[in-house]
A and B are shown apart, each in its own frame.
Chain A
Amino acid sequence: MKHDSSEEIRGILAKRNLIWNLAIKDFKVRYRSATLGFLWMLLNPVLQMIVLSIVFSFIVKVPVSAPYPIFLLCGLLPWNFMAMTLGAGAPSLVNERNLVKKVYFPREIIPISVTAGHFLHFLVALALFLPFPLVILHTWSWALLALPIPILLLAGFTVSLTSLATMGDAFFRDTRFIVEALIMVWFYATPIFYPIEFLTTFADKVPGWIVPVLQLIRFNPMAGIISMFRKILLDGTLPSLFDCLYVGSITALLMIITFGLYRRHGPVVADHM
């Protein structure tokens, strides 16, 4: 059977129905026996926001330009989407071995459906959050029209990275633990509860070898994405072109690698379950 790339992409698109069913299934399975059900999806980030707000605006004072909770959520929502998708997505192919070993379908569908489910939830959370900066900070502007750019980049970045981790996990079960550890470190290496400028303020207070590490944070694609969200929502200005191009090319690169890996290893992934 010959497969070319466009045929494969068409194959995935033809299975929209399946992506949707799998995403729904994930949520049904996860929240079916919980009394509060879907509410947990909203309660968790709110709790996280309250705790982080108390810590970083009262105990450790992080200087920010906007009210701290608004500033925080602006970074926390995209981060949570990425981190939760990656965390849940990495073991997903192995968890679905019942399906994978019994039926043929493009294997990308599994991480894509995990991403789709979380993405939907992210959009809901974002819609609920959006009025606060716009009303409180009066950041209504034409720049708001650029909001789909960081959203799409975030989605593209997340789906590629998650798919990569999913495939990796199918071959080496250690991947899921590496991903967990990575997410934990990554959280602090991403300007979520602090502005990126904050890094330069204490460059003279830390040992010399840490400074280049701190500089690396600037190349963190999540830093770029969050800074795009902040520019639009907190400052009412367009995101920087550098951020767009940089994150865009990282995402494109990841997508190509991931797609290539699925082309080569997707059809035989069932042999490794």
Chain B
Amino acid sequence: MNAAIQVSQLTKTYRIHSHRQLLATQPFSLLRRSPSGDLLVALDTVSFEIPRGRIVGIIGHNGSGKSTLLKILSGVTRQDSGTFTCHGRVTSLLELGVGFETELTGRENIYLYGSLIGLSREWIEEKERDIIAFAGIPDYIDLPIKTYSSGMLIRLAFSTAIHTEPDILLLDEVLGVGDDEFRHRSFQAIQKAVERGVTVVIVSHGLAFVGSFCSMVMCLHQGRVAAMGPAEHVVQVYMDLVSVRDMIGEVRNGNTRLRLTQGAFHVEHGDRMLSVGKGIGLNLRKWDADFSSTEAGVDILELNDRTACLRLSWGHWDLDQIWRIELVSPVCIRWIIENGDHLHEEVDGVEIEAMVSGTFRSYILPEEIRAFPETVHRGFNMEYLLARMKPRAFAGVCESLDDRHSVILDFSDCPRTGSTQVITGGNLMPGHILKRDFPTQSGNRQLSITIHLPDREATTSFFATHRHRPGVASGSLSMEVVDDGLHLVWNGSKLTCDPGLHVVSGMLTDEPPPDWESITTPSGLILRATHRILPLVSVWTLHGDGSGISWEVALEILDRIPAFHPRVSLDFDSPVPDALEFSPPTRKGRDGLELPVDPGCTSIPGVPARLRLAGGIVRTRGALHD
């Protein structure tokens, strides 16, 4: 027999009771064959067959019957009619959390779980060590699991489930939880199991995940199988279902239309769909897991031509958000998100997620445009491509390096904490997911996001507005913060090479660039560079006029630094242009030119301390040639 699971005409109907059943009103319904109540058809004559040794993904909207199907296959509930056969032993992990007893320890729960799914004590004893090692929580294993975090619970549950060596493994959204490292190991474990002939069925909302990880995908819609087969085809069917049938409203301006769906929106610009997949929406981060806005209930508070106001509520948590979406112009969308009180306190963060069309092959920074590396285009790898982009408040994508037609997500009104990532949409869905994380602890109750649509003018003005390098100038010569370094710039191009003008601690050979912060004062520009490793802030005071650029650097030492011999260094790729004149004069140092430092700053009087390190003037005699 080559099929692992055969399902034929499976039907399951739930009765919805508006209030809890009362003995007084329905005392004998337990004995009757057909109790009263409204009917909800969760599965409607579903038939399919899953071959052995496959990883099958099940996708579909909420309420499409995915979870019901897994519950029936695992035996937790029974169908009303139809039949199914599972060949071999079935182990299931349903919903978040598992069949664990909170008062018992992790170890005791392994045994309890083992006996629940019918394993002998000897078997579990043999596997116990592997289970604990895989879960990676040896220090906690003898503590009651009520002390565990949800991530630890999932680790333990998944580890127990996979080590029971089932023939069929049913997973419901479980792998969305946990850190990347554990997720990665889980995937490997699943793949190994599949090589041994185990059949895995995974319910998931993650289209990219399903596409890259599953050899076969099934899409359920309103209790029926909408499509089943290769991922590419099925995901397309699912996306069509999302974008058309789930539309709850529309906002227009000129040739641009926003299609509002359940907890997300799609952008149609001219005759092109700019968004793909789930469109533009967000995830709530809680317990190390993502909960998509597409899982929320949506009420339309206000809807007219240009604007929509929606309330999203995550009913089972009692959390809510208000979204205001406005098409300010045909090429500009304004999206304001306001967290409800409860949400603000309960959730660790909000993650904006925009899935944009695959024709956009480059990403965009305020200063430049770069092509995505090949690796991001292929397969499932959650690469933190732009980890270094943390201080930048925006990210965008464009279609090619020459063409500046782009979609830009401008987060400039948002708090600067958080990080931006770009992730591939998976090989079957040509597109990129732009993500930006906002921790809710940092007080950003309201997020305001501007989305600029492909328009040369909008892009150019975006560049002009955001291409702001803090710095001062004297004629064509300027001193500016470029690419995380303080550089000398002549006519817009860098004279100095990385890391530019910087404080050398004498401690670290390769210190990462500091975080820059600029303050404009009447006397000039103050730049504060917070060092990432040493407890040190260098404060640069710059002033530029016709006579040159005067600079001064002081150090704020926050904590004791052993063997600290600060110097100021200036690096050039090519020979230092003759026309550049330093005062006091520089000398050649270990890493480039060295600027003389104050004699008093080698002995530090105790911490915290603030001391002047060096200062001088730089000017040009005539023009420089580049």
Contact = CB atoms under 8 A, between A and B. Distances in A.
Nearest to B85: A1
A267 interface: yes
Contact of B121 (A17, A100, A174, A261): A17
11 contacts: A17-B121, A28-B108, A29-B103, A98-B97, A104-B76, A105-B116, A105-B117, A167-B30, A172-B30, A173-B20, A178-B23
B75 A21 contact: no
Contacts of A1: 83-85
Interface in A3-28: 14-15, 17-18, 21-22, 25, 28
Nearest to B120: A17
A101 interface: yes
B116 A28 contact: no
Interface string B5-24: 00000000010000011110
List the 8 shortest-distance A-B pairs measured between CB atoms, nearest first.
Answer: A104-B75, A267-B78, A102-B99, A18-B115, A99-B99, A29-B103, A174-B23, A172-B23
Contacts of A268: 77-78
A32 interface: yes
Given A21-B111, A29-B101, A174 B74 contact: no
A236 to B, nearest CB: 43
B77 A32 contact: no
Given A28-B103, A102-B95, A271-B77, 15 more contacts: A1-B85, A17-B120, A25-B101, A25-B112, A101-B76, A103-B74, A104-B90, A105-B116, A171-B30, A172-B21, A174-B22, A178-B23, A265-B30, A267-B75, A270-B77
A25 B92 contact: no
A175 interface: yes
A45 interface: no
A167 B29 CA distance: 13
A102 B30 contact: no
B30 A103 contact: no
A102 B94 CA distance: 6
A102 B21 contact: no
B529 to A, nearest CB: 53
Nearest to A100: B76
B98 interface: yes
A101 B23 contact: no
A260 to B, nearest CB: 10
A171 B97 contact: no
B76 A15 contact: no
B426 to A, nearest CB: 30
Interface in A161-180: 167-168, 171-175, 178
Contacts of A104: 74-76, 90, 92
A178 B71 CA distance: 31
B14 A271 contact: yes
Interface in B86-138: 90, 92-95, 97-101, 103-104, 108, 111-113, 115-118, 120-121
B235 to A, nearest CB: 29
Contacts of B77: 267-268, 270-271
Contacts of A172: 21-23, 26-27, 30
Interface of A: 1, 14-15, 17-18, 21-22, 25, 28-29, 32, 98-105, 167-168, 171-175, 178, 261, 265, 267-268, 270-271
B73 to A, nearest CB: 10
Contacts of B117: 103, 105
Nearest to A109: B116
A28 B104 contact: yes
B315 to A, nearest CB: 18
A22 B116 CA distance: 9
Interface residues of B, number: 40
Contacts of B76: 100-104, 270
A21 B115 contact: yes
Nearest to B101: A25
A99 B116 contact: yes
A32 B77 CA distance: 33
A66 B75 CA distance: 54
A102 B112 CA distance: 13
B27 to A, nearest CB: 8
Contacts of B97: 98, 102
B115 A103 contact: no
B604 to A, nearest CB: 54
Given A17-B121, A271-B77, A102 B98 contact: yes
B92 A103 contact: yes
A99 B111 CA distance: 13
Nearest to B80: A268
Contacts of A178: 23
Nearest to B71: A270
Contacts of A105: 116-118
A99 B95 CA distance: 12
B400 to A, nearest CB: 50
A270 B67 CA distance: 13
Contacts of B112: 21-22, 25
B67 to A, nearest CB: 11
Contact of A32 (B30, B95, B103, B113): B103
A15 B21 contact: no
B23 A15 contact: no
A173 B21 CA distance: 8
A25 B108 contact: yes
Contact of B118 (A15, A29, A173): A15
A14 B104 contact: no
A28 B14 CA distance: 36
Contacts of A267: 75, 77-78
Contacts of B95: 101-102
Nearest to A171: B30
B115 A17 contact: yes
A28 B144 CA distance: 12
B78 A14 contact: no
Contacts of A171: 21, 29-30
Contacts of B113: 103
A269 to B, nearest CB: 8
> Which residue among B83, B99, B113 has the maximum number of chain A CB atoms within 10 Å of its CB?
B99
B168 to A, nearest CB: 13
Contacts of B14: 271
B104 A98 contact: no
Given A17-B120, A175-B23, A261 B94 contact: no
A251 B492 CA distance: 95
B94 A168 contact: no
A153 B92 CA distance: 38
A15 B121 CA distance: 12
B30 A261 contact: yes
Nearest to B121: A17
B78 A98 contact: no
A105 B75 CA distance: 8
A28 B553 CA distance: 66
A270 B79 CA distance: 12
A98 B99 contact: yes
Nearest to A15: B118
A98 B100 contact: yes
Contacts of A103: 74, 76, 92, 99, 113, 116-117
Nearest to B98: A102
A265 B14 CA distance: 14
Contacts of A32: 103
Nearest to A98: B99
A33 B100 CA distance: 19
Nearest to B73: A104
Interface in B43-94: 71, 74-78, 83-85, 90, 92-94
Given A172-B23, A174-B22, A15 B103 contact: no
A259 to B, nearest CB: 14
Nearest to B124: A17
B216 to A, nearest CB: 24
A105 to B, nearest CB: 6
A29 B115 contact: no
